[in-house]
């Protein structure tokens, strides 16, 4: 993934909670950031999955949200759009 690097300083005891290795701590921080941006409605479910490192597949990203008790951002407008798409597919 091409992108920007961000460095933050946190207390050692918090870093230990995130993981034993630098890679594990980075992954946990990416997951937390991805979930929060998704909860705020700033990124899509698929983008959240990509940023969290679980992939951009809708179902995998949705499962990740469920595992982390993050509510799905699904509005009435989304429901209406899905219904219209289903109607078109049914003919």
Tell me what pLDDT residue 30 has.
94
The Cβ of residue 31 has, within 10 Å, a number of other Cβ atoms equal to: 18
Tell me what pLDDT residue 2 has.
76
pLDDT along the chain (91 residues), means of 10: 83 90 93 94 92 91 92 82 91 82
Q: Are 70 and 52 a contacting pair, CB within 8 Å?
A: no
Give the ranges where 1-91 is alpha helix by DSSP (H).
12-18, 22-39, 45-52, 58-67, 76-90
This prediction has a pTM of 0.76
Cα(82)–Cα(91) distance, integer angstroms: 14
Q: Residues near 52 by Cβ (< 8 Å), separated by ≥ 6?
A: 30, 31, 34, 35, 61, 64
């Amino acid at each position: 993934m091409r992108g920007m690097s961000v460095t933050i300083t946190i207390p050692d005891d918090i870093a230990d909670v995130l993981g034993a290795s630098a890679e594990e701590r980075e992954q946990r921080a990416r997951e937390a950031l991805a979930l929060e941006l998704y909860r705020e409605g700033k990124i899509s479910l698929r983008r959240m999955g990509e940023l969290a490192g679980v992939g951009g597949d809708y179902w995998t990203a949705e499962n990740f949200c469920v595992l982390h008790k993050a509510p799905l951002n699904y509005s009435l407008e989304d429901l209406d759009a899905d219904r219209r798409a289903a109607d078109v597919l049914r003919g």
